[in-house]
Amino acid sequence: DTILTQSPVLAVSPGERVSISCRATEGVDSYVHWYQQKPGQQPKLLIYKASKLTSGVPARFRGSGSGTDFTLSIDPVEADDTAIYFCQQSWNDRTFGGGTKLELK
């Protein structure tokens, strides 16, 4: 299985920039996608194929990377961005990262 590793928690202040990383144990080309999950809600697709922004998602969200290292950036961070962010790969079956909980200071 392709394992995706994410930092468990990040804390930032509103208005700052944050980068959330996702590292794969093997190359997955650009088939990494990012989801946002707020408490009590289903996941929501933000970014697909590493850098493509889903329609309706603010341009503050940006994805980058290829191969084994990927990043989701939010700039500037807003209070409403408090959530867990998951990366997912679909190059080798499908697996999800453990999630990064974004907290605001």
Partner 1 sequence: QVNLLQSGAALVKPGASVKLSCKGSGYAFTDYYIHWVKQSHGKSLEWIGYINPDSGYADYNGKFESKASLTADKSTNTAYMELSRVTSEDSATYYCARGAYNNYIMDVWGQGASVTVSS
Q: Which residues bind partner 1 (CB under 8 A)?
A: 31, 33, 35, 42-45, 48-49, 54, 86, 88, 90, 93-99
Of 77, 58, 88, nearest to 19 by C-alpha is 77
C-beta closer to partner 1: residue 18 or 84: 84
C-beta closer to partner 1: residue 42 or 79: 42
12: three-class secondary structure by DSSP: strand
Contact indicator for 2, 28 with CB cutoff of 8 Å: yes
C-beta closer to partner 1: residue 29 or 75: 29
Contact indicator for 50, 64 with CB cutoff of 8 Å: yes
The CB-of-30 to partner 1 minimum distance in angstroms stands at 10
C-beta closer to partner 1: residue 3 or 17: 3
The CB-of-95 to partner 1 minimum distance in angstroms stands at 7
CA distances from 84 to 1, 20, 27, 39, 45 (A): 23, 11, 24, 8, 12
The CB-of-52 to partner 1 minimum distance in angstroms stands at 9
The CB-of-17 to partner 1 minimum distance in angstroms stands at 25
DSSP 14: T
